[in-house]
Amino acid sequence: MTAETRPSGRIAIDRDEVRRDLMKLVLTVVELLRQLMERQALRRVGDGDLNEAEVEDLGTALMHLEEAMDELTEQFGLTAEDLNLELGPLGPLLPRHRR
């Protein structure tokens, strides 16, 4: 094999695709945490653990987080389904979205 025909050993990497895939992973983790926080908040509200001001603050915070997630997924050309990793026999990572 001559130097001209020998593979260079380099892998072609598309920086934009790597950036998008990294953002997809980060947003998946954030979405999982957002959904867990939302469920915890609903449980606490249902149990009566929060006063009216805390309920209002929590609802506002969750609404802002959801809006930020929507903006970021749109900015990176992702959908809610893109963030839902398939875990084989365990099924999807995230429960179905109500969005």
pLDDT digits (tens, 9 = 90+) for 21-30: 999 999 999 9
Higher pLDDT: 66 or 8? It is 66
Beta bridge partners of 92: 86
pLDDT per residue as tens digits for the range 18-77: 999 999 999 999 989 988 999 999 999 999 999 999 999 999 999 999 999 999 999 999
Q: Tell me which long-range contacts 83-89 makes (C-beta under 8 A, separation of at least 24).
A: 83/24, 83/27, 83/28, 83/31, 84/28, 85/28
Q: How far is CA 82 from CA 7, 56, 86, 92, in A?
A: 34, 31, 10, 11
3-state secondary structure 63-88: HHHHHHHHHHHHHCCCCCHHHCCECH
Residue boundaries of the structural domains of the chain: 16-80
pLDDT of 9 higher than 50? yes
pLDDT of 99 higher than 60? no
